[in-house]
Amino acid sequence: MENQSCVNIQTEWDIVAARQLGRNVAKELGFGIVDQARITTAISELARNIFIYANKGRVRIEKIYDKGHAGLRIVAIDNGPGINDIRLAMEDGYSTSGGLGAGLPGVKRLMDEFDIVSSKGKGTEIVATKWIR
């Protein structure tokens, strides 16, 4: 099986497809039930952000290996408007869309590693990784 797979996000159905893909890969890698839920939730949040803020983009799920450890990496990429103030976007309860504002800081807590690069007018790339303990 390929070590990475990708879902294009254009409709809300693609959000479902992305998280189902992520859950299957997480299961395959041997993540426990709680980590599977964390990964599924994180993918759902990231895919929804793409759908809401950038209209379209893609979510890539990668199996990664480092020093004998296996992990799952989510890469969420869009060419949308970018995030104005990343520090503000990473604050709990902050939302520009009337949502719960749990998105990005929540994803950071659910995953082990979290990285975000965004430039205004060009888009956003978020990379989040979970390792098998």
Binding residues vs other proteins (CB under 8 A): 12-13, 15-16, 19-20, 33-34, 36-38, 40-41, 44-45, 48, 92-93, 99-103, 105-107, 109-110
From the CB of 3, what's the least distance to other proteins, in Å?
24
- What's the closest the beta carbon of residue 38 comes to other proteins, in angstroms? 5
Closer to other proteins by CB, 15 or 83: give it.
Answer: 15
Choice between 28 and 92, CB closer to other proteins = 92
What residues contact 130, with CB distance under 8 A and at least 6 apart?
A: 26, 31, 35, 38, 39, 42, 71, 72, 110, 111, 112
Q: What are phi and psi of 116, to 5 degrees?
A: -135, 130
Of the chain, the end-to-end C-alpha distance in Å amounts to 23
